[in-house]
Structure 1
């Protein structure tokens, strides 16, 4: 009898064995927590999606992150 593969919330192909640390100010963390709760996502998922959106915006505008 085969067992079903373990379900994960990690997107297919994502590197899950090399996490990165993210330091947020208290009010930034509260914003992330609020979005995570509202969208029923993990903090890591919200952070990843926000990062991807921010990178796409920088690429589209052809501006550095700190601009």
Structure 2
């Protein structure tokens, strides 16, 4: 995640104030440790359901293979 953040820093700064740059891996780890997996699962399922309702899709491709023609 840190590498991605570093490679997209200019773009991310359009959405977030990052006065100290991209957080280090330890910070990401501490944040993820605090996420309750059951609550995250419920939120994720609600988000996916909202996408299905909004776009009428039964399957939402998230890995990019369809875009690349794989």
* Both proteins in one fold, TM over 0.5: no
Structure with more of its chain in helix, by fraction: 2
Q: Select the structure with the greater relative contact order (CA < 8 A; seq sep ≥ 6).
A: 2
* TM-score interval for Structure 1 and Structure 2 normalised by the shorter chain: 0.3 to 0.5
Structure whose CA Rg is larger: 2
TM-score by length of 2: 0.36
